[in-house]
Structure formats: C-alpha cells, structure tokens
Amino acid sequence: MIDITTYNVTMILTNCYLLTDRETGEMAVVDPGDKSEKLIKKIKDNGNKLTYVILTHGHFDHIGYAKQLTDMFGAKIVCGKKTDKFLSDNSLNLSIYHDEVENIAPFNGDILLDDNDSFKLGNTVITYISTPGHTDGCGCYIFDDNIITGDTVFCESCGRTDFPTSSSTDLVASFRKIKELEGDYNILPGHGLCSKLSHERQYNPLMSRV
C-alpha cells in the first residue's frame, strides 16, 4: 500500500504527488514541475529514501524540477518511452514559450516504459498504461485503488489537444481505455480536484460519450 501526499507546485498549480510505500518507506515523486521545500524536507525526514521521479508526460510544469531531485537523492527518472524526447527539447516541453520559466536543461529518463509495464515501489506494484492525447507520450500510473492521470483525465474535464504531438482522436481512445478498466479508482489528476472513476464515467463529458 502507498500513502499519497499532494504538493501544489508551479504558477499553474500542478499536482505533484509524493508516494510512500507503507511497508518499506521507499518513496517516489510524481510530476515535480517546480521546487517544493516542504516536499524536500519530507523526503529528508524520511531518510532520503527517494527511489523514483515518475513523469506522466513531458510538459515543463510537470518536469521542471525532476533532474534536480534525482541529482539530490540519487533517484531514477521513470516515464513512458515517447515522453523521453520531451525532456531534452524545450519546444516540445513548452518551456521555451514561457518568459517566466527557465529553459530546462536537457536530461533523459532512466526507466522507459511501454504500455502495461510494471515496476515496484517498495512492496507495491505500479502499472503504467499509455494514454496519448494531450501529448503522444502521456501515461497513467495505477496502484492500489488509485490512478495518477496527469493531464489526461481531470475532474469532469480533460487535457488540451492543441500542443505539439497532441491528438484529439488519441485522447478519445485513451478515455475509452480508462473507462473500460474494471472496478473503481481514485483519479489523481495533474491539476485541480481529485475524483473517482465512477464519477468520471457518469459526469465527464468526454468519458460519458465514448
């Protein structure tokens, strides 16, 4: 089982998640778009056991502090294979278009995932599913009764599809894929309020149509 703590980072309030495996204390950070002193303190207070920095996709507001955390704690960067190119291309990760954001120094993922690949945080299995649409590298992470959806599924909404590599057709297919998962899950999005998959099946305009 994994305990989840949420930190709002970046000027557009990205949800950055700290995951802690209950049995081992091993930790992962999901989508560190910017520095959070509270997050860093929490990791240090728990014995510096940061194993992974996990990325749902490659936009600046989700990757902006990823390399710094891995350098600080010796963690590995985990992302989908198609996200890796965003980490070294400031036009793809969009940092080049925001004057208030520093261009991100190029880096690469350490563990590159295909659809349905799994890895373990401590004693908990985390499964990656590819969900392109917002970008072609978007993916979600499933563990326990939770899905971290990044900018794919929001509470009663969805990610934009007007960026490089975006596709509204792919997003519809990804929503169908998530909708058809068995059972119910907590939806932990990249921005905004958390939700439930059962709620999104009924009230999300895109999911209710697929």
- Type and span of the H or E element at 170: helix 168-179
Q: What is the mean pLDDT of residues 98-125?
A: 92
Q: What is the mean pLDDT of residues 156-160?
A: 96
| 8-state DSSP, 186 | E
- pLDDT 10s digits, 31-47: 999 999 999 999 999 99
Tell me the whole-structure pTM to 2 decimals: 0.96
What is the model's pLDDT at position 159?
95
Residue type, 150: G
The rounded mean pLDDT for the chain is 95
Does 99 score more than 90 pLDDT? no
What the chain holds in terms of domains, given with CATH numbers, is 2-209 (3.60.15.10)
CA dihedral 60, 102, 54, 171 (to 10 degrees): 10
What is the model's pLDDT at position 202?
95
- pLDDT 10s digits, 113-152: 999 999 999 999 999 999 999 999 999 999 999 999 999 9
Q: How confident is the model at residue 98 (pLDDT cuts 50, 70, 90)?
A: confident
